[in-house]
Amino acid sequence: KAGVTQTPRYLIKTRGQQVTLSCSPISGHRSVSWYQQTPGQGLQFLFEYFSETQRNKGNFPGRFSGRQFSNSRSEMNVSTLELGDSALYLCASSSTGGTEAFFGQGTRLTVV
Amino acid sequence: GESVGLHLPTLSVQEGDNSIINCAYSNSASDYFIWYKQESGKGPQFIIDIRSNMDKRQGQRVTVLLNKTVKHLSLQIAATQPGDSAVYFCAERRGGGSNYKLTFGKGTLLTVNP
C-alpha cells in the first residue's frame, strides 16, 4: 500500500509570499498531522485534522493554517512567509487510535 | 508543562556494540511512549512503542524501558549496525477516545562507526 506522499519535495520562496503544501495520507487513514522540523527546535506539532475538522492545534501563529478534504488529503498554508519559516514540513497519517504515525518524506521549504 | 527531552544530543558507538538512547518526559498523563528513527532525507519511522502501564517491551534488536518513577524512557539497540545510524526521537501520546496528540523530543543523533 502506498505511503504518505508530500508535494512538492523542495520549495524556495521569498519573504512575504505565501505557500501551500500538500499531503496525501495512507489510504484509509483519516487523521493527518503536520509538523515543522528545524535543527534548533526539533519536531514541533502544527495541527491535526480528522474527517475534515481540525482537532488539535500547536502553538504557531495564525499565518499557519490547514485544511483537509473529504478524501483525507490535507493541505497546509503559510502566509506572509518569514525567514524563520524555513524548515522541513512533515505530514503524518494514522489510523484511528493507533500509536504508529506514518510520515511522508517532507517538504523542504527555504525562505529567502 | 508539556515537554519531552533528551539527555544526550549525540551518541557514537562501534559497530556491534549495544546502544542506549535516553529520554526524559514531564507529563504523566501520556498513555503511550514511542520511539521513532529518522534517516537522512526521510521522514521519521516508527520503531517501537510502550504502554504507560508497562516497564519493558522488546522488539527485534530493540528494547524500550520505561521508568515512571523518574519519568525516564530509554531505547536499547543490540548489536548496533551502520544502518542504525540516524536521529532517534522519543514521543509521548496523550489524549482520549480517538483523539490523540504526539509530542516529540528533540532527537539524538546516533552514529555507528564501522
Q: Does B52 touch chain A (CB under 8 A)?
A: no
Distance CA A94, CA B100 (A): 10
For residue B106, the chain A residue with the least C-alpha distance is A42
Strand B108-113, strand B10-14: pairing: parallel
Measure A47 CA to nearest chain B CA, in Å.
9
Q: What is the pLDDT of residue A98?
A: 67
What is the four-CA torsion angle of B14, B90, A83, B1, rounded to 10 degrees? -140
Average pLDDT, chain B: 89
Q: What is the pLDDT of residue B106?
A: 83
Strand B99-104, strand B72-77: pairing: unpaired
Q: Is B102 exposed, middle or buried (0-12, 13-18, 19+ CB in 10 A)?
A: buried
Length of chain B: 114
Measure B53 CA to nearest chain A CA, in Å.
15
The answer to whether residue B5 scores a pLDDT higher than 70 is: no
Mean pLDDT of B7-35: 88
Mean pLDDT of A55-78: 95
Query: Which grid cell sits at A45?
Result: 506539532
Closest-CA residue to B19 (of B91, B113, B92, B104): B113
The answer to whether residue A97 scores a pLDDT higher than 80 is: no
The answer to whether residue B100 scores a pLDDT higher than 80 is: no
% of residues, chain B, pLDDT over 90: 69
The answer to whether residue B7 scores a pLDDT higher than 60 is: no
The separation between CA B3 and the C-alpha centre of its own chain, rounded to angstroms, equals 14
CB contact under 8 A, A42 and B107: yes
Mean pLDDT of B81-94: 94
Mean pLDDT of A69-97: 94
Measure A56 CA to nearest chain B CA, in Å.
7
Lowest mean pLDDT among A4-18, A27-41, B5-19, B50-64: B5-19
% of residues, chain B, pLDDT over 70: 89
% of residues, chain A, pLDDT over 90: 82
R_g (Cα) of chain A, nearest Å: 13
Residues in contact with A93: Cβ distance below 8 Å, sequence separation at least 6, in sequence order: A4, A23, A25, A26, A29, A31, A32, A33, A72, A101, A102
